[in-house]
Amino acid sequence: MAAEVLHSQDGLLQVEVVAAQQERDIRARQARVFTYNGTIPGWTWQVSPGD
Residue 7 within any structural domain of the chain:
no
Residue 41 within any structural domain of the chain:
yes
Residue 43 within any structural domain of the chain:
yes
Contacts of 12 (CB under 8 A, 6+ apart): 51
Residue 9 within any structural domain of the chain:
no
The reported pLDDT for the residue numbered 21 is 96
Q: Which domain holds residue 26?
A: 17-51
Question: Shortest CA distance to 48 belongs to which of 11, 16, 22, 19?
Answer: 11
Burial of 43 (0-12, 13-18, 19+ CB in 10 A): middle
Residue 45 within any structural domain of the chain:
yes
pLDDT tens, 1-51?
A: 566 888 888 888 888 999 999 999 999 999 999 999 888 888 888 888 887
Indicate the number of domains in the chain: 1
Residue 24 within any structural domain of the chain:
yes
Residue 11 within any structural domain of the chain:
no
The reported pLDDT for the residue numbered 3 is 67
